[in-house]
C-alpha cells in the first residue's frame, strides 16, 4: 500500500505544465517553459493568498475608517452632552432650590392657615380663603388677597434659566412677606390667648360693675368687678394665659388670685375657699386656679371677678364671651 501511494505521488509530482510563448515576429523563435505541477500549485496558492490578503486588508482598512468616523461622531456627541450638562447642572440645582423653597412655603402657608383658623375661633373673625394660592398681606392684619402662582412661559433651556433667575427674588420676597405675616398672626394669636375671654365660672351675675350700695359698708362705692353667684367649692378658671401675680389673702378679697396676662391685662378672682396656684406660676386659659367660697368681705358664696387694663378696673362683661 505504501509503495503504491509513493508511486502515485511520484507520478503526480512528475507531471508538469508547459507554457508556450509564440512571438509576433517570424524572426524570433518559439519559447516554451515547463513548470512542475507542485510549483504551479504553490504559485496559485501564493497568488490566491495575496488576493485574499489584499481584499481582507482593504476591508479592514474600510472598517477601521468607519469606526474612526463613528468614534469621531460619538466624541462630538459626548462633548456636546458634557457642554449641555455643564449648562443643565446649575439649572437643576436652581430647580431643586425652588422645589425645597416651595415645599417649605406650602408648609408655612398651611401652618399660617391653621393659625388663622384658630384666631377666627378665638376672636370670632371672618375667614375666607381660596382653594388654591397663598396668603398675601394687604395693609392690615386680618385682610388677605389671593395670589395665584406663576405658570411656566417657555420650556427652552435659556428661557427656563432666565425665568428661574427672575423668579428667585420674587420668591424670596414672598417668603419674607409670608414669614412677616406669620409672625404677626402668631403675635395676634398670643394676644388673643392672653386677652380675657372666658367666664371664670358659669353662673348668673348677681352684682354688676359700677357704683352700688355696699352691703357691708352701707354706702355707695365703686364695685370694681362683677359678682358671679357660684355655689361653694365651684371650680374657678383662668380666663386667659398669664402668670400668677398674687395668690394669697388680700383685705376685702379674702383668698384672692391675681393674674398678669401681659398687654396691660390683669384679672382678679376673689372670695375663694381654696387656692390651687401660687405666685409666679404660669397658667393657661381655662386652667382651674381656685375653688369659690365666702372669704373676705362677703355676704355669701360667690366669685368676685375683675378685669383691669393698665391697672384701671373696667367692666368685665364685654370680656365674658366663652
Contacts of 256 by beta carbon, 8 Å cutoff, 6+ apart: 246, 247, 248, 249, 250, 268, 269, 270, 271, 272, 296
For the domain spanning 205-319, the CATH number is 2.70.70.10
**CA gap 253, 284 in Å, rounded:** 23
Q: What is the pTM of this model?
A: 0.59
Q: Which residue stretches of 195-252 are H helix?
A: none
> Which stretches of the chain are assigned E, i.e. beta strand?
16-21, 31-36, 137-138, 140-144, 205-207, 210-213, 220-223, 226-228, 235-237, 242-250, 254-262, 265-275, 282-283, 288-292, 303-309, 312-314
Q: What is the pLDDT of residue 24?
A: 74
- What's the CA angle centered on 262, arms 256 and 267, to 5 degrees? 25
**Number of residues that this document lists for the chain:** 322
DSSP string, 131-165: SSSB--EESEEEEE--BPPPPP---SHHHHHHHHH
Contacts of 245 by beta carbon, 8 Å cutoff, 6+ apart: 258, 259, 260, 266, 279
Burial class of 141 by CB neighbour count within 10 A (0 to 12, 13 to 18, 19+): middle
- Residue 286 near residue 186 (C-beta atoms within 8 A): no
Q: Where are the domains of the chain?
A: 2-76, 91-193, 205-319
Each of the 322 residues of the chain gets a pLDDT tens digit; together they read 676 766 666 666 666 667 677 777 767 777 776 777 677 778 888 888 888 888 888 888 888 888 889 998 888 888 888 877 777 778 778 778 888 888 888 888 888 888 888 888 877 665 444 433 444 444 344 444 444 444 444 457 777 777 777 788 888 888 888 888 889 888 989 998 999 999 999 999 999 999 988 777 788 888 999 999 999 999 999 999 999 999 999 999 999 999 999 999 999 999 999 999 999 999 999 999 999 999 998 989 999 999 999 999 999 999 998 7
DSSP code, position 256? E
C-alpha cell at 215: 352691703
Q: What is the pLDDT of residues 161-202, one digit of tens each?
A: 777 777 888 888 888 888 888 898 889 899 989 999 999 999
Query: 3-state DSSP call for residue 287?
Result: coil
Amino acid at each position: 500500500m505504501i509503495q503504491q501511494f509513493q508511486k502515485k505521488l511520484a507520478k503526480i509530482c512528475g507531471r508538469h505544465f508547459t507554457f508556450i510563448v509564440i512571438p509576433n515576429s517570424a524572426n524570433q523563435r518559439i519559447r516554451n517553459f515547463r513548470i512542475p505541477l507542485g510549483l504551479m500549485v504553490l504559485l496559485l496558492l501564493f497568488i490566491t493568498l495575496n488576493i485574499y490578503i489584499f481584499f481582507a486588508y482593504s476591508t479592514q482598512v474600510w472598517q477601521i475608517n468607519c469606526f474612526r468616523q463613528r468614534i469621531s461622531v460619538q466624541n462630538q456627541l459626548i462633548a456636546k452632552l458634557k457642554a449641555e450638562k455643564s449648562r443643565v447642572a446649575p439649572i437643576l440645582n436652581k430647580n431643586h432650590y425652588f422645589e425645597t423653597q416651595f415645599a417649605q412655603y406650602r408648609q408655612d402657608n398651611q401652618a399660617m392657615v391653621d393659625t388663622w383658623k384658630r384666631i377666627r375661633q378665638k376672636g370670632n373673625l371672618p375667614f375666607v380663603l381660596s382653594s388654591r394660592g397663598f396668603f398675601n398681606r394687604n395693609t392690615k392684619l386680618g385682610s388677605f388677597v389671593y395670589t395665584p402662582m406663576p405658570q411656566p412661559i417657555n420650556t427652552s433651556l435659556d428661557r427656563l434659566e432666565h425665568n428661574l433667575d427672575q423668579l428667585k427674588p420674587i420668591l424670596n420676597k414672598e417668603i419674607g412677606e409670608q414669614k412677616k405675616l406669620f409672625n404677626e398672626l402668631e403675635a395676634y394669636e398670643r394676644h388673643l390667648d392672653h386677652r380675657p375671654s372666658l367666664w371664670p365660672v358659669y353662673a348668673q351675675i348677681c352684682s354688676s360693675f359700677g357704683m352700688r350700695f355696699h352691703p357691708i359698708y352701707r354706702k355707695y362705692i365703686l364695685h370694681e368687678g362683677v359678682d358671679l353667684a357660684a355655689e361653694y367649692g365651684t371650680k374657678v378658671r383662668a380666663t386667659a394665659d398669664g402668670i400668677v401675680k398674687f395668690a394669697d389673702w388680700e383685705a376685702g378679697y379674702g383668698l384672692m388670685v391675681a393674674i398678669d396676662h401681659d398687654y396691660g391685662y390683669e384679672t382678679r378672682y376673689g372670695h375663694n375657699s381654696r387656692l390651687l396656684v401660687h405666685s409666679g406660676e404660669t397658667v393657661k386659659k381655662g386652667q382651674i386656679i381656685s375653688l369659690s367660697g365666702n372669704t373676705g368681705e362677703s355676704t355669701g358664696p360667690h366669685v368676685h371677678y375683675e378685669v383691669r387694663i393698665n391697672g384701671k378696673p373696667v367692666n368685665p362683661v364685654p370680656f365674658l364671651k366663652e
